[in-house]
Amino acid sequence: MKLYRFITGPDDSAFCHRVTAALNKGWRLAGPASLTFDPVQGRVICGQPVEKEVDGVDYTPDVKLSDW
């Protein structure tokens, strides 16, 4: 099965650690990061798509992506 996630969060070290943790669990970057500015909260929000191939497992909608 091929899994896809879009990790989002404020542009801070915690966001970078979340992406780094995903990469260390075998996820791969699936495109460029994106940034947007939230004028209400006055901060930059990041997004990073990642994907992962898992052999021998069929996809179902109840798959908890953060467990992989």
Number of domains in the chain: 1
Residue 40, domain member (yes or no): yes
**Which of 14, 13, 10 has its CA nearest to residue 44?**
10
Residue 6 domain flag: yes
Quick count: other Cβ atoms within 10 Å of Cβ 62?
5
Asked if residue 68 belongs to a domain, the reply is no
Within-domain flag for 67: no
Q: Which domain holds residue 42?
A: 2-57
The per-residue pLDDT string of the chain (68 residues; one tens digit each, 9 = 90 and over) reads 999 999 999 999 999 999 999 999 999 999 999 999 999 999 999 999 999 999 988 889 988 887 78
In a domain, 65, yes or no: no
